Amino acid sequence: MRALVAASSALVACGLALVPVDAHATSAAARADVTVTITADGTDLSGVVKSERPRVCAADRTVVVFKVHGTPGGGDDDRFASDTTDLQGGRYVWSTGNTGTEGRFYAHLKATADCKAATSRVIRAQR
């Protein structure tokens, strides 16, 4: 009987030790929001990456441009081009240069340990 009481007391003590949660610890680990834009000047695709934590989430990020086939994000889009962001005029910009290809495109950034993923709107590039 004493062994049962001792074991029960140990379980209760362990359970109570696991219950308290520090809300600040979980929010500090939250990923930062990121925005990626895309524009077309003819068939030259470019854009900007913005974040509340620009040095971590906008600097030196690889932006992947997808060409839309069917529904955007439907699994049949082609990886078309990519570029790494550069700081220009206080903004983190990217550009594919003149692709020579018309169509519908969107830009995407993968999530990192510190930053959320981001996807731009779909735009149409025309000559």
Which domain, by its residues, includes 113? 31-125
pLDDT of residue 75: 81
Let me know if residue 22 belongs to a domain.
no
pLDDT of residue 28: 57
Let me know if residue 52 belongs to a domain.
yes
Let me know if residue 107 belongs to a domain.
yes
User: Which of 72, 79, 77 is closest to 96 using CA atoms?
Assistant: 79
The β-bridge relationship of strands 62-67 and 103-109 is antiparallel
Contact in structure between 65 and 81 (CB atoms under 8 Å)? yes
| N-term to C-term CA, the chain | 85
Let me know if residue 12 belongs to a domain.
no
Contact in structure between 78 and 67 (CB atoms under 8 Å)? yes
**CA Rg value for the chain:** 24
Gap between the Cα atoms of 108 and 58, Å rounded: 12
CATH code of residue 46: 2.60.40.10
Gap between the Cα atoms of 43 and 114, Å rounded: 33
What is the three-class DSSP state of 14?
Answer: helix
Let me know if residue 44 belongs to a domain.
yes
Q: Indicate the number of domains in the chain.
A: 1
Let me know if residue 3 belongs to a domain.
no
What is the three-class DSSP state of 114?
Answer: coil
pLDDT of residue 74: 77
The DSSP letter of residue 61 is P
Tens-level pLDDT at each residue, the chain (127 residues): 555 445 445 544 444 444 444 444 445 579 999 999 999 999 999 999 999 999 999 999 999 999 999 887 778 899 999 999 999 999 999 999 999 999 999 999 999 999 999 999 999 999 9
